[in-house]
Structures are given as structure tokens and as C-alpha cells.
Amino acid sequence: MSKKEQIAIIIGAGPAGLTAAYELVTRTKIKPIIFEAADAIGGIARTYNFQGNRMDLGGHRFFSKSKRVTDFWFKFLPPESESTQINSASTNTDKLMLLRNRVSRILFLRKLFPYPLQFNLATLRKLGAIRILKIAASYLYVCIFPRRPEKSLEDFFINRFGRELYTIFFKDYTEKVWGVPCSFLTAEWGAQRIKGLSITKTLLHGLKKLFAKSAKSAKSAKSNGTTETSLIEKFWYPKFGPGQLWDEIAAAIIAQGGEIHFDHKVVAVHTKDQQLTAVDVLIDGEVVTMTGDYFFSTMPIKELIIGMEETVPHAVLEAATELKYRDFITVGVLLKDLKIKDNHVGLIRDNWIYVQDADVKLGRIQIFNNWSPYLVKDKNQIWLGLEYFCNANDEISRMDNSELAEFAISELVKINFIERDTVITSTVFRTEKAYPAYFGGYKKFHEIRQYLDQFANLFLIGRNGMHRYNNMDHSMLTAMTAVDNILANVKLKNNIWNVNTESEYLEA
């Protein structure tokens, strides 16, 4: 008698869910069926196409210290060769990873400062003598009297940069991203987010750059084990944006027998004897129950727990209900020109710009032309992504799309970035729960994890699936490790939770 085919239900078609499905179709006999709540592939790392202009929600650099991950990317989109110039005739294929230079600066006092900060003459001139003296004095002060114990992110920043520099370059931006004061965030989180950076390292990095004229090879970008991760200067990027890679992978999954269903939102989970048995899926207003043998979840843990059919212990439910997230909005603006220029000509070089000034709510500006010129339909136009961080129901998220676009454009004008009459058109894209927060219910996260880990056939993977402020490579490695565990019959989930924590590098 032939054995019944085993089914893996995968919740979410972002990087984690797609990687899990691909690993299953290629390495096992288990059939993956993905249920995706949205109408497109890629999750946060999708590419949104607006009238032929492609928008990357967040600006996704492809950089990983894991060879397993980079090999996976290059299987679908091979790297451009070191000698291939981006606009040359030798770029004869669309399936390509471009090697891009990272250029990002900080906009403060309506002036552009290098990121990471470099203490060169230009920076000193822009900051002015009084500020420089204050920076030096507050840095010296903290060298002699560091804040001990280092409890909050504010302590972390001040100990490394001094109060003045922290106030100028870190405080307002971090508070824009998280919506809470830096004194509210933990120091460990800072240590992970901007690993190892300090004034001394920033100065040394600047000096090193002066002497070693960069032109680093593609090889060093592939496995850069020593550079402080916040300083990475090159990254890979699919020619048509991150969604191009996920579309390729989705096509391979379907070609090999997997299934992907859009507009299928998982709303509840059925369990029996410490196993998941089925999920309830909302399809066109109807709830349909789907059974499976294995379950991979990339949906927010908060929603997973709330949707559990069995009685969840009170402490776990309470911690999950208290988990916090930050939403994210990208306003795409198509322009004829920018007012701000480098050396008064041409397009500025940056991939993105951090907006530090506190008199606008705008967090970052993406210049999509500089990620890949192929993201923009008309090469003579400028395609920007204006990023806002918000909470459900706050002032920003309550605005409707046209109000929001007008508000964003008025902020661009206010910071002297554009002239109003250069705007051609605009669009708005909202991403809920883009940032899982390490405050609120997170302090009791261990209880949630312990509870969910007992379900032997449930694999929590990816960003919201594990409530990790992660990058794509982390999502992918957690998916790969989960499939490794199924193949090796490993029951414990520790190796999934431990993925990449040492070598993680993070956006922003």
C-alpha cells in the first residue's frame, strides 16, 4: 500500500516561508503548501511595482556571512562579474545580482553628513566650532565617567559617543524608528544593532579609507568577516529589486510540485497531543480548515498565539498579547529633479539618507535609482521612497493615502530636498508589523517560546515568526535549519533559535 503524501503547511510567502518550501521540494518528499495573506510574493522583501517603477520597501541590501545563503541567492540570480559594468552592453541578462556600492548619509541641519560619521574637515566645518567643542567635552567626560551599569540604549550610545553626539546623531532617529525614548530600549539591543562601533573605530575607519583606496573586489564583499557590519561598503542587489529573487524561487517551488496560495490568511490553529493538526484559512470571507503533517509559521507570534484553539496558559497569552510592533509606510515619489545635489550637478550618490532633523517625521529617504537604475522606468526621472515608522492608529497611520503622500512631499520641500513643482506622481505602501519590538511583552518571550516549542511539528521561522529584528539571511537560515531538523529527525528547536545570532548584521 502506498504511503500517503506528507504535507507541510507554510504560513507566509516571505523569504523564510519561500526558503522552507524550496528546501522541502528539493530535499524531501514532503509537499509544501504556502498560504499567504497578501496578494504577492516576498513579504517585507517584496518589490512593489507602481506604473513600471519598482519600489523596494525598506531598501534591501543582500549581504550575508553565510555561504549557504549566498550560494542559494546566486543559484537563482548569478552575480555580475567583477568586470561587468552596470550599464554596459555586456549586461545581457535580466537574471542578475548587481554589486552595488553602499552610500548613505545623514541629513542634519539641512546638510549631509557621512554615515558612518567621519571626523574630517568637512564634517567639522558643517557642525561648527561650538558644537565640536561640546562634542569633544562630552566625549571626554564620558570616557572618565562612563554610565555604569549600562542599562538602556541611551547609556549605550552615550558611553560610546558622548551625550552631545548622541543627541545630534542617534537620539531623534532611533526614537523615530521605535516610537519610544532610547532610555526605554535595552543596551543589549544596541550592542547587537551597531556592533562594535565607537568614536575610536569611526576615526580609524576613516583613516584606513584614506590610505587604502577602496575598489574592494566582489570576493571580499561575499565573505567579509572582519569589517564592522554597520560599515559594510558593498552589497548585492537583484537587478529588478529584492522581489525578483523571491519571484524566481516561487516559480521553482511551483515547478517542482509545491503550491502557493495568495489572499489566504491563516486565522486559527488546531492542536492535539502537542502536535498541530490543521489551520483555519480565511479565503474570500469563508473559513476553510486545512490539515497538514508539518507547520512552518512566519506570521506574527502574537496572532498565532491568539489564534490557538487550545487553552493557552494565562502567562503565555498575556506575554503574547503584550508583544509590540512598529508599522512602516513607504511613500513613493517620482520626480523630475532634486534640489539637493552633490557638487551642484547630477543625482546625489546615496542609496538612502537618514533624516535626523526632528522637525519632520520622515525617517529615511531611499533613492531607488542608486539601488539599481533598472528600478526606474524613465532613467531621466528620480524615484524616491520616503519612509515613515508608525504605530497602528497614530497620527501618521490614520492619514489616508492622498493625505499621507501630500504630507510626505511637504516634508521633502521643508528639508530643501525638492521643489514642489518637480513632483510627477506618488504612491503609498503600508507594511504592518514591519518591526518586532524588543520591549513590551518581549521580556517574557522565553515563556512564549517554551510553550510553542513543545509542539513537535511546528517550526517558528523568520522575522515575526520568531519575533526577531532580523535580516533576510537570518530568515532563510532558520528555514533551512528547520528542514535539516526534519531530515535528521532532530526534535529540539534550539539550533533554529540560535541561528546566526553571532554573525547577524542588521539594517539601519
Ligand X SMILES: Cc1cc2nc3c(=O)[nH]c(=O)nc-3n(C[C@H](O)[C@H](O)[C@H](O)COP(=O)(O)OP(=O)(O)OC[C@H]3O[C@@H](n4cnc5c(N)ncnc54)[C@H](O)[C@@H]3O)c2cc1C
From the centroid of its chain, how far is CA 499?
17
3-state SS class at 101: strand
Q: Which of 426/464 has CB closer to ligand X?
A: 464
- Among 10, 14, 202, 335, indicate the residue that binds ligand X (CB under 6 A): 14
Q: What's the min distance (Å) between Cβ of 328 and ligand X? A: 5
Q: What is the dihedral of CA 37, 472, 95, 219, to 10 degrees?
A: 180
- The residue within the footprint of ligand X, chosen from 60, 105, 193, 467 (CB under 6 A), is 60
382, three cell numbers? 528620480
Smallest separation (angstroms) from ligand X to the CB of 140: 35
Q: Which residues pair with 331 in a beta bridge?
A: 386, 428
Cis geometry, peptide bond prior to residue 436 (ω within 30 degrees of 0): no
Least separation in angstroms between residue 426's CB and ligand X is: 19
Hey, what's the cell of 242? 529584492
Beta carbon of residue 268, minimum distance to ligand X (angstroms, whole number): 10
Question: Which x/- pattern over 370-409 shows residues binding ligand X (rule: CB under 6 A)?
Answer: ----------------------------------------
The bridge status of strand 259-261 relative to strand 31-35 is parallel
User: Cell triple for residue 413?
Assistant: 520641500
CA distance 113 to 348: 13
Q: Which of 193, 463, 467, 493 binds ligand X (CB under 6 A)?
A: 463
CB atoms within 10 A of CB 38: 16
462 binds ligand X (CB under 6 A): yes
CB-CB contact of 107 with 356 (8 Å)? yes
Which member of 38, 103, 136, 203 binds ligand X (CB under 6 A)?
Answer: 38
Question: Is the separation of the CB atoms in 194 and 177 below 8 Å?
Answer: no
**Choice from 43, 79, 238, 258 touching ligand X (CB under 6 A):** 43
Q: Which of 107, 135, 299, 353 binds ligand X (CB under 6 A)?
A: 299
Instruction: Rule CB under 6 A: say whether 32 interacts with ligand X.
Output: no
User: Cβ 9 to ligand X, closest distance in Å?
Assistant: 10
Q: Which is nearer to ligand X, 11 or 127 (CB)?
A: 11
Instruction: State the Cα angle at 93 between 90 and 94, rounded to 5°.
Output: 130
Residue selected from 61, 171, 239, 324 as contacting ligand X according to rule CB under 6 A: 61
Instruction: Enumerate binding residues for ligand X (CB under 6 A).
Output: 11-17, 35-38, 43-45, 58-61, 265-266, 298-299, 303, 328, 434, 462-465, 470-473, 475, 507
